[in-house]
Amino acid sequence: MMDKVLVVIPAYNEALNIERVVGEVIENYPMFDYVIINDGSTDHTADICRKHGWKIIDLPMNLGLAGAFQTGLKYAHRRGYRYAIQFDGDGQHRPEYILPMKEKMDEGFDIVIGSRFVTEKKPHSMRMVGSRLLSGSIWFTTGVKVSDPTSGMRMFSRKMIKEFADGLNYGPEPDTISYLIRQGAKVAEIPVVMDDRIQGESYLNPINAARYMGKMLFSILLVQSFRIRDRR
């Protein structure tokens, strides 16, 4: 596992997408290992994975993205993976960018983010306005520019894998990235293209998106200043 990348695929009710997403990773990118974290799905997500004999960890209830992703990083830590990448089960992330992200990690970074906005301007939508506010708040509190803080396509080094696996308060969210930067983590971005969800519905409707942005802004600007690092 010394140089291996683990693709961590959290999935909650992704029966309409999981076969296409995981199948592409397995068939076209066999150099990467993977594990599916079935986050208490109530549809046929787990049945589809078992039908194919895929590597799956079943959570007994829905823990949300933070709990599912931490489960994946505990798995990565115990098996000694060098890198682990958060890879959504809804089909928005493209596996062709995993290798370029690994190559960037090899330059000595702790976190590499697949960014939609490194080389292009953000469109003027409410969601992108929120992303820009988060980016500005991270820069204000850390001095580091993160162009796409809401990107869910993030790769983590062995040190960060251990941090997530051992900690109690680590969700894969912009405020945690901000906190880790303040703790000395080196972060880079590479340009990626993300696809729209083809089937199923995202929980981030306009109301939930606004609440999420507000929560992240509050956390980055205030809460992270008082956060105590888990030590084990």
**How far is the C-alpha of 82 from the C-alpha of 104, rounded, in Å?**
13
The half-sphere exposure of 133 on its side-chain side, counting CA atoms within 13 A, is 18
pLDDT in tens, the chain (232 residues): 667 999 999 999 999 999 999 999 999 999 999 999 999 999 999 999 999 999 999 999 999 999 999 999 999 999 999 999 999 999 999 999 999 999 999 999 999 999 987 655 555 556 677 788 999 999 999 999 999 999 999 999 999 999 999 987 788 899 999 999 999 999 999 999 998 766 655 545 567 777 888 888 888 988 776 665 655 5
Exposure on the CB side of residue 201, measured as CA atoms within 13 A: 5
Predicted local confidence at residue 126, as pLDDT? 60
Instruction: Report the pLDDT value the prediction gives residue 198, as an integer from 0 to 100.
Output: 61
Report whether 114 contacts 97 (CB < 8 A).
yes
Instruction: Give the pLDDT score at 188.
Output: 97
**Domain definitions of the chain by residue range:** 5-226
What is the pLDDT at residue 157? 98
**pLDDT recorded at residue 146:** 95
Helix (H) or strand (E) holding 85: strand 83-86
Amino acid at 193: V
CA 152, 12, 64, 126 torsion: positive or negative? positive
Report residue 136 as tokens. Answer: 């500005």
In this structure, which topology does domain 5-226 adopt according to CATH? Spore Coat Polysaccharide Biosynthesis Protein SpsA; Chain A (3.90.550)
